[in-house]
Structure 1
Amino acid sequence: MLPDPDVPSLVRELTRRADPLRLRHDVEFLADRPRSRTRAPEAMLRAETHVTSELAAAGWRTERQPFDVRWRLGSTDRRGDHPLALGLRLHRRLAGANLLAGLPGGDDRPTVVVGAHLDTVDGSPGADDNASGVAALLEIARLLGRLPRPPAVTLMFFDMEELGLIGSRVAARRLRRTRQIVGMICLESVGFFAGGPGTQLVPAGFGAAFPGVAATIRAGGQRGDFTLVVHRRSTRAAASLWRRAAKVAEPSLPVITLRDPRPDGPLGALAGLAVPPVNHLGRSDHAAFWNAGIPALMLTGTANFRNPHYHRPTDTPDTIDYRRLAAVAVATAVTAVSWPAGGGR
């Protein structure tokens, strides 16, 4: 983390450097076919090669971290728009690999992890879910690689998110043993925006559980034109910082912050059983870090509650807003290097 950064100046500097065309190139390369360790392994290796090559060009060192796990409760990666319990599955054995990247000189200090999942469901090229997150992460690598002092930021590309956060669950445990992690930012389906009225849906029971956020969405005509920042008490200040940075990077990008009331750690995961709507707030890799007691944020365009192409063959690169995606990358890069001490103040 950089000492006392001038956040607006840093945002403006990185905004000048960010390139929507580079983001488009990465999304188009990744999302020309489905990517899955179990269903499309050659495409996953191709995606890994692209990520590693782009990271190396930006000055990052990448470590491939294989894992082999047995009897893990997760989910199915069949195409379709039914999340959570409707797709529960017990996996007998899964062998995959995460990618971890760091800058030389930046890996011996307390670190912020920024991550995105590389895989897709069966049959979907996954431009929004989640080539958009991966492309933003690669742009963050380029932006941070040019800073005068290497920041203490770790980038992670997770495997098997679509099978039930398998890769991030492994990664969170490993990182806790080897590094001091002060926070984590997850990029999940961050490239699709819909500006028409009524394009933003909310889950059943959401209005009762989060009346303030539901009222904000209604007041905006239920337009799917915002980025949602999901946080907990431990990352309230970091969420506020991301919102401020995004406003400077792209004034036309609305941001809504939503606090998950659950505590970090295993107790938070169990609490979701009592209040089902909050389970939607843990539908990506940040949840593995929450459950490991690590403060985390999720950035998202709300996936199936906005994007009609979610988990379908039509989730293609032409549906992505690359200008706003560049702003997401900039705000995330700035938040990572400026992570507030204590995170939740």
Structure 2
Amino acid sequence: MDPGPDVPALVRELTRRADPRRLRRDVEFLADRPRGRIHAPEAMLRAETHVADELARAGWRTERQPFDVRWRPGCTDQPGGALSPLRFRLHRRLSGANLLARLPGGDDRPGVLVGAHLDTVEGSPGADDNASGVAALLEIARLLGDLPRPPDVTLACFDMEELGFVGARVAARALRRGGRVTGMICLESVGCFATGPGTQALPAGFGTVFPREAASVRAAGRRGDFTLVVHRRSSDAAAALWHRAARAAEPPLPVVTLRDPRPDGVPGALAGLAAPPLNHLGRSDHAAFWNARIPAVMLTSTANFRNPHYHRPTDTPDTLDYGRLTTVAVATAATAVTWTP
């Protein structure tokens, strides 16, 4: 019987080469101001340039993929409640760009995509949401770029997540048509950890829909010291691999895995109307890949259910835990090269 990949050994090797100081430098550069295609276009271009430069230094070939879409349902990028109906907006026209990167010299076969969104809401520098995810992505680029054989992994920075996953929706459709991606890992607000009791909140109705997971969080004193891995049946293997990688870290990173019971595709998106707590599980770019029937997982430190600075001017670099953020990057890199959807 095939014992599978030696994930602990890979985690040890990647950890040896990972550097929390690099992640902090990336977060501090990106999160010194708000960035967004509409409310802060110059800052967005500055952030794009930084990402492309760092990917190039790590040996990746980056392609900027502009898009122009019309009459797209979404939301505003104003600060406020993540699921408030007041944020709904029908966008007449949006023009943006995603960044996609591959390592030269690989087999150019379909593989796993790791993605994070680059934009923020208006008025927030977005250290956790989502400079943390982009910094982890850049560290993953450095770690994977040093492997003896280039892995079949694509890295992506998505535009306009805060407007309703606009860039990810464009990318997911194109990648599905081209058969370029077999699975997706989304890094969404992954840098905030709080070890004190009572620091982790739960959405209304969560205990009814997910009684076992809610009981686990309560039994641990509702401490916000874990990474949440949201997945579906199609991405069970990725969630298990990520959990295994996080356990192999030193020190181990606590993990809560949560399977969204909905199917991939449009029916899954519509099922959220019947069970509103499920909508919290689709609050980032991975939802666009679920809707395109591409297996996906979301990694998150649960955003506003833990972080009091969510979507606020106080979401600054000094509020993040760079040691644990580095472990998130290492576990994600290990998962990306061992997951075969």
TM-score range, shorter chain: over 0.9
| Cα distance per residue 1:203-256 (max 9 Å; x no partner) | 111100100110001001001110000000011111011001011124342100
5+ residue gaps in structure 2?
A: none
For 1:241, the aligned partner's letter is L
Aligned-residue offset at 1:90: 0.6
Q: Write out per-residue CA displacement over residues 46-97 of structure 1, whole angstroms, 9 at most, x where no aligned residue.
A: 0000000000000000000000000000011101234353311111100000
Q: Secondary structure at the match of 1:94?
A: strand
The normalised TM-score by structure 2 is 0.97
**Residue equivalent to 2:34:** 34
Q: Which amino acid aligns with 1:151?
A: P
Q: Is the 8 A contact 2:246 2:252 kept in 1?
A: no
CA shift, 1:4, in A, is 5.3
Q: Distance in 1 between matches of 2:37 and 2:250?
A: 36
- Partners of 1:64 and 1:232 lie apart in 2 by 30
Q: Which amino acid aligns with 2:140?
A: I
Question: Offset at 1:24?
Answer: 0.2
* 1:316 corresponding residue in structure 2: 316
Alignment check: 8 A CA contact 1:34 1:123 kept: yes
* Separation in 2, partners of 1:247, 1:190: 17
Deviation, 1:120, is: 0.1
**Conservation of the 8 A alpha-carbon contact between 1:231 and 1:258:** yes
Q: Which position in structure 2 is the counterpart of 1:175?
A: 175
1:105 equivalent in alignment to 2:121: no
* Counterpart for residue 307 of structure 2: 307
Is 1:220 the counterpart of 2:197 in the alignment? no
Query: Which residue is equivalent to 1:88?
Result: 88
What is the aligned partner in structure 2 of residue 240 from structure 1?
Answer: 240
Q: How does 1:1-345 map to 2 (within 5 A)?
A: 5-106=5-106, 108-339=108-339, 341=340, 343=341
Contact 1:106 1:153 in 2 (8 A): no
1:180 positional shift: 3.5
How far apart, CA to CA, are the structure 2 residues paired with 1:106 and 1:245? 24
Matched residues in 2 for 1:84 and 1:19: separation? 38
Q: Which amino acid aligns with 1:209?
A: V
Aligned residue type for 1:37: R
Scaled by the length of structure 1, the TM-score of the pair is: 0.96
Q: Letter of the aligned partner of 2:309 in structure 1? A: H
CA distance in 1, matches of 2:183, 2:253: 24
Distance 2:214 2:123 in 1: 33
Query: Contact between 1:81 and 1:310, CA under 8 Å: does it hold in 2?
Result: no
Question: How far apart are the structure 2 equivalents of 1:47 and 1:123?
Answer: 16
CA-to-aligned-CA distance 1:178-208 (integer Å, 9 cap, x gap)? 2342210000000000111111111111100
Decide which moves more: 105-114 or 330-339.
Answer: 105-114
Query: RMSD in angstroms over aligned alpha carbons?
Result: 1.2
Distance (whole Å) between structure 2 residues aligned to residue 282 and residue 240 of structure 1: 19
The alignment covers a number of residue pairs equal to 339
Cα contact 1:107–1:153 (8 A) shared by 2: no
5+ long unaligned stretches in structure 1: none
The residue type paired with residue 295 of structure 1 is P
